[in-house]
Chains A and B, each alone.
Chain A
């Protein structure tokens, strides 16, 4: 057993105890970690063994049969798979860009608000939708956009003479409107929550910068442009990197808002996997596991790339 010299927190150099003894001394901690390990094993590591099914044909009623790479060949030859992959990237990245912009703008103006009470009240209000579930938000907006006589948007369009009162549009079932609605709902739900991290950065800006700008005769807009926005650049980079790593995870927000009429514009990888597994009469779990593996691998690559970019850009990784 090697006896390394180590430096303790007080700076004294002592000889490290033998490994066996160090393990024995930490026995209490290993026992405390056991429950965590058990859940980690069941929820995360055991399922990883199931990845082997991506090389099998696995209809629920029959025993799995090894088919090599056939599932992956089928997957890459399936149009709906590529549509779902494209939609995943498009919807996630567009959502990320749009909500980041709205969060930055709102936090800049929130930061300019002089009255502290007004500022706090508004913060309370705009954080609120973040805590609502996607099922609830989908419920609210489904009723809001419905073609029934209680649908707000149809009613207003009728009143304003934009839409013939005899016809109504079921907005969530129209492929040409679906993505726009999806982005707007995301803005409504997540903009406020997104401001927290930017407001924290803004409150850390040295006031002397603003005073210097005052002396130079800068207008308020100029101060925002030349002091506030540059100060936010690093935080914006961080937020983008953190969320780019999660691009493949998009699921529940789409899952609660999409329907069969808009698969072309709304279907994402995870919803595609769900339908392949639970939405058909004869599900091939092998095929959906293969699609899941593709998703996990692309996701892992994105995390590692973003981690690398984060280390380069701000000297710190994201994991």
Chain B
């Protein structure tokens, strides 16, 4: 009897805690989602209001039409798409090649090459020397500067290396005995076994390139070379709004721009969440 009472008491306490816990988390979820929801609603509203509304006021899609039909806006968007795709591929090529070479422990000079990689994590030339070099090799005012700058990422290379190190060594040995070349092993064994890591690190590169604002701000001046993040920031903060055929409030256009800037990854995110997150876990475990 006493025991039953104790269990009852415990259960009641538990549920009170659970209620508070859930309430707090609904609140947290709302704090995260409300600003995003407001942006989405405002992007479809012809009239801007400060209140949070569930649905748009005077529904319109002119904001999105403006982005799709104004060269000053869709050109940077296309540039963002191109640089993101190329940047992710280049980033994957360099980090898989580098990571694969870094697990060849018997290779003479491996330690020196590893030092060359790690030293860049400690020390760098800085913003201006880097600017002068990119200027000299003709990447100033070119969207490829974004790709080149983010293509080599030592942190991601080390993540890749750590992942490759987890592949059983007996597989490499077997392939070597079968007469497979280093390149053959790389393409036939290493890469097919690393699909999850490739997806995860490829996404990390893609997000970095897509989200970059600083690089175009420093290097790119012409509108047909810049990316969408830069265009969005100058539009909202500096009022650099292009002339369009539509009569819309700037508020509608700004919010539509924000939605366009987050749309590609928000659309992929629910399906690829595990790849977005695994990168951190590879890093966290090994770090």
Contact = CB atoms under 8 A, between A and B. Distances in A.
Contacts of A144: 35, 38
Interface in A119-168: 121-122, 124-129, 131-136, 138-144, 148-152, 154-156
A174 to B, nearest CB: 16
A318 B287 contact: yes
A48 interface: yes
A23 B106 CA distance: 10
B214 interface: yes
Given A29-B104, A36-B101, A109-B24, A50 B128 contact: yes
Interface string B210-229: 11111001100000000001
B166 interface: no
B106 to A, nearest CB: 7
Contacts, number: 270
A135 B120 CA distance: 26
Interface string A27-68: 011101101110110111111111101000000000000000
Given A36-B152, A109-B24, A289-B126, A131 B207 contact: yes
A155 B50 contact: yes
Interface stretch (A76-84, A205-213, A270-278): A270-278
B97 A36 contact: yes
Interface residues of B, number: 95
B69 interface: no
Interface stretch (A91-99, A175-183, A226-234, A248-256): A248-256
Interface string A1-33: 000000001000000000100110010111011
Nearest to A150: B48
B258 interface: yes
Interface in B118-171: 118, 120-133, 137, 148-149, 151-152, 157, 169
B13 interface: yes
A22 B108 contact: yes
B216 to A, nearest CB: 10
A193 B32 CA distance: 12
B17 A238 contact: no
B85 interface: no
B98 A36 contact: yes
A309 interface: no
Contacts of A51: 125-126, 129
Contact of A29 (B107, B124, B211): B107
Given A109-B25, A277-B131, A192 B125 contact: no
Contacts of A265: none
Contacts of A192: 32
B232 to A, nearest CB: 6
A308 interface: no
B129 A47 contact: yes
Interface of A: 9, 19, 22-23, 26, 28-30, 32-33, 35-37, 39-40, 42-51, 53, 106, 109-110, 112-114, 118, 121-122, 124-129, 131-136, 138-144, 148-152, 154-156, 188, 192-193, 196-197, 200, 219-220, 238, 242, 251-252, 255-256, 259, 270, 273-274, 277-278, 285, 288-289, 292-293, 295-296, 299-300, 303-304, 318-319
16 contacts: A22-B106, A26-B106, A29-B100, A32-B182, A39-B94, A49-B129, A51-B129, A131-B211, A140-B39, A144-B35, A154-B50, A255-B214, A259-B237, A285-B132, A292-B126, A299-B122
